């Protein structure tokens, strides 16, 4: 069994990300851009070569008309990114061939005005001020 991670984000403008960006700026978190995506970390027994096709075949996860898929190198947040999960989140059953289960996160990836990933301090401030409600959620970030 191998852990594989995929980010699924909208191709179309994301109003929720735009609203979060505006709110963060009002709260004093200066960032140039923010992206929101769903992160799935799968327990996968299948072949790595067709992993993307297997994920995209599940219509409850991926709609080719509105989503794009990015396979991630690891199962941890990337630079400038925070993953948010509910405190009691458990592995969810997922209908993807070769997958035993998966964990879902909401990812917020922040970028500086020059398109570089945001600093850890900026990500931490965004998580603490807006992106995570510690009463019901937990955040992971680098």
Question: For residue range 82-92, what is the model confidence (pLDDT) as tens digits?
Answer: 999 998 766 66
Dihedral over Cα of 110, 113, 116, 122: its sign: negative
**Whether the predicted pLDDT of 77 surpasses 70:** yes
H or E element, residue 121: helix 120-126
Mean pLDDT of 18-39: 97
Q: What are the domain boundaries of the chain?
A: 2-141
User: Residue with structure tokens 């925070």?
Assistant: 82
The pLDDT assigned to 9 comes to 97
- Please compute the mean of the pLDDT values over residues 10-25 and round it to a whole number: 97
pLDDT 10s digits, 106-124: 999 999 998 899 999 999 9
Written as six digits, the tokens of 138 are: 């937990």
Mean pLDDT of the chain: 92
**What is the predicted pLDDT for the residue at 128?**
98
At residue 14, the pLDDT reads 97
pLDDT tens per residue across span 50-73: 999 999 998 989 999 999 999 999
């Amino acid at each position: 069994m191998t852990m594989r991670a995929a980010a699924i984000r909208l191709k179309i403008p994301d109003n929720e990300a735009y609203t979060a960006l505006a709110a963060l700026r009002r709260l004093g978190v200066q960032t140039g851009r923010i992206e929101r995506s769903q992160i799935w970390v799968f327990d996968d027994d299948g072949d790595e070569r067709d992993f993307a096709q297997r994920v995209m075949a599940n219509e409850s996860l991926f709609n080719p008309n509105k989503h794009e898929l990015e396979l991630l190198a690891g199962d941890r947040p990337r630079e400038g990114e925070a993953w948010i999960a509910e405190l009691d989140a458990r592995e969810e059953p997922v209908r993807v061939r070769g997958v035993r289960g998966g964990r879902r996160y909401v990812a917020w990836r922040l970028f500086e005005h020059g398109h570089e990933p945001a600093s850890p301090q900026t990500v931490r401030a965004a998580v603490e001020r807006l992106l995570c409600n510690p009463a019901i959620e937990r955040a992971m970030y680098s």
